Structure 1
Amino acid sequence: MKSDDVSASQSVASVNPLLRALIEKTGHDNGFEHVLPADGNVVTLASARHRSSAAVVPMAGGFEVRFQPASPALVPELLRSFKLWAGADGVFRVPTLADLATLLRRAASLSQALPNQTVRDYHTAVAQALADLPAESRGTQVERLVRQRVGQDRYRDALLVYWGGACAVTGVTVTETLRASHAKPWAECTDDAERLDAFNGFLLVANLDALFDRFLISFDDAGHLLTSARLSQGDLRGLGIHPDMTLRWLASEHRHYLQWHRERFLLSA
């Protein structure tokens, strides 16, 4: 880092053995359990559970964190949650070790939920599940059901992480009521990458999930709720649905799948 890139208040601090150990422990406890070789004052953290890494540099008054993301969506998603710490070029400056832990924990969780780590984890889990099947079950409906069950479980886990365990519309956090809704249905996806893409759908409470799954509701490109003419005002009130409902946020990666869903929604209206 050049000296003219940082102000005096952000000058690089030396990494003494204690501080290095504290950074490494913070990484280990928050999804970055490995330390990679690095020069100077940089502590580079990585993981066997995902392919992102984080370079942590002690600064006067905190830490500078630069991610080498496994998914191009990682840094934009972190910017959504940590705007106050975000600097130029996706660099984060956090004031305390506790803040560093929060940032790393979210980065690690997202790295496991976003494409394409979920697909890799799915293939590993499927291989383990199929190894337990009798040989005569291979290539049968049993195997197809195993693949679908494992995939749906992985997809739900990814959406729970991505949406922070809360409904994408209502913010409800009762896990038992939340469903992993596909915009482009499982059976219509062209490959596992689409089926398991965290951007191919939303985490929704059960009533919204049922309507979304049947193309009775959808969302526009700003995230505003669209309702089918087949739903009466009495139906909407009974379901607790009102016209100003909107997604808590909408990433650009959602829009391709939403367009597909809206086309089917318009045909069903």
Structure 2
Amino acid sequence: MSVAVNPLQRALIEKAGHDNGFEHVLPALGNTVILASARHRSRAAMVPMAGGVEVRLQPASPALVSELLRSFRPWAGVDGEFCVPTLADLSTLLRRAASLSQALPNQAVHDYHTAVTQALADLPSGSGRTEVERLVRQRVGQDRFREALLIYWGGACAVTGITVAETLRASHAKPWAQCVDDVERLDSFNGFLLAAHLDALFDRFLISFNDDGHLLIAGRISQNDQHRLGIHSGMTLRWLANEHRPYLRWHRERFLLSA
């Protein structure tokens, strides 16, 4: 049951949003507080309840709610609503929602196009510009892809959980050159954040994953080398979303050809 929101409650909810990726307050009626951001296109409508705060998300990506359920299922209600018991819990939910909103399609593509436009505007005119533009697009795209995967996987390897950023690589399942458009290239589901040795193997189709996330290892990697590499068939992805599976199937077909 909703309760009347007093000025202090409203101020605290707005501050939780401002501090956690929802810095704009939009006009709303009654007890509802609606928050948005200039950095992503998701919105959050909040209503104080007797047992906490009800959060109704208007996600920029259809995958947002299902990804939040991975971490916040105990607070989940119906139709993508979450009922959080405290302001600290509200801050945690909003922070993850804002981060994912910047990492999931198609916000990463929007940010990529903006960054490319700015980078190209700084280029001098003249011969060779076409090749330079191609390199700029690829560099900016790879940077954006890495940022998206770092956010999505919480800064940890998708298999081992290693959190040393210098050792982590953004691995495409369907390589940049094989993608049909920028949506595929920048799709955070088209790849995994992997430790460097796993990235090298994944990039060369020497390992892959099945539809349950279990590691597949090419037969030409001997047991001794598997041991030295620290890999084994019992390893799995920390989680796997449905949106990963079409890209993984593409990768697995190439893996089976090279295995």
> TM-score, normalised on structure 2?
0.98
* Counterpart selection for 1:45 from 30, 35, 44: 35
Give 5+ residue unaligned stretches, structure 2: none
Residue aligning to 1:115: 105
Q: Secondary structure at the match of 1:169?
A: coil
* Distance (whole Å) between structure 2 residues aligned to residue 137 and residue 268 of structure 1: 40
* Distance (whole Å) between structure 2 residues aligned to residue 137 and residue 63 of structure 1: 59
Q: Cα offset for 1:116? A: 0.2
Q: Secondary structure at the match of 2:161?
A: coil
> Does the CA-based 8 Å contact 1:119-1:196 persist in structure 2?
yes
Q: Does 1:179 align with 2:169?
A: yes
* Counterpart selection for 2:202 from 206, 212, 221: 212
Q: Cα offset for 1:137? A: 5.7
* Distance (whole Å) between structure 2 residues aligned to residue 212 and residue 64 of structure 1: 42
Residue aligning to 1:89: 79
Q: Cα offset for 1:138? A: 6.8
Once the two structures are superposed, the pairs formed by residues 72-83 of structure 1 within 5 Å of their partners are 72-83=62-73
Residue aligning to 1:6: none
* Distance (whole Å) between structure 2 residues aligned to residue 209 and residue 236 of structure 1: 15
* Distance (whole Å) between structure 2 residues aligned to residue 138 and residue 221 of structure 1: 44
Deviation readout 1:130-183 (Å, 9 max, x if unpaired): 111101267421111111000000000000000000000001111110000000
Q: Secondary structure at the match of 1:222?
A: coil
Q: Does 1:33 align with 2:23?
A: yes
> Does the CA-based 8 Å contact 1:216-1:227 persist in structure 2?
yes
Q: Does 1:125 align with 2:115?
A: yes
Once the two structures are superposed, the pairs formed by residues 99-110 of structure 1 within 5 Å of their partners are 99-110=89-100
* Distance (whole Å) between structure 1 residues aligned to residue 145 and residue 127 of structure 2: 24
Residue aligning to 1:258: 248
Distance 1:137 1:52, change over 3 A: farther
Give 5+ residue unaligned stretches, structure 1: 1-10
Percent identity over the alignment is 79
* Distance (whole Å) between structure 1 residues aligned to residue 225 and residue 190 of structure 2: 27
* Counterpart selection for 2:236 from 233, 242, 246: 246
Residue aligning to 2:61: 71
CA-atom RMSD, angstroms? 0.9
Deviation readout 1:71-104 (Å, 9 max, x if unpaired): 0000000001111111122110111111100000
Q: Secondary structure at the match of 1:231?
A: coil
Q: Secondary structure at the match of 1:203?
A: strand
Q: Secondary structure at the match of 1:190?
A: coil
* Distance (whole Å) between structure 1 residues aligned to residue 153 and residue 28 of structure 2: 33
* Distance (whole Å) between structure 1 residues aligned to residue 62 and residue 211 of structure 2: 21
* Distance (whole Å) between structure 2 residues aligned to residue 31 and residue 228 of structure 1: 43
Q: Secondary structure at the match of 1:89?
A: coil
Residue aligning to 1:168: 158
* Distance (whole Å) between structure 2 residues aligned to residue 97 and residue 39 of structure 1: 21
> Does the CA-based 8 Å contact 1:137-1:143 persist in structure 2?
no
After the TM superposition, which parts of structure 1 deviate over 6 Å for at least 4 consecutive aligned residues? none
* Distance (whole Å) between structure 2 residues aligned to residue 76 and residue 143 of structure 1: 37
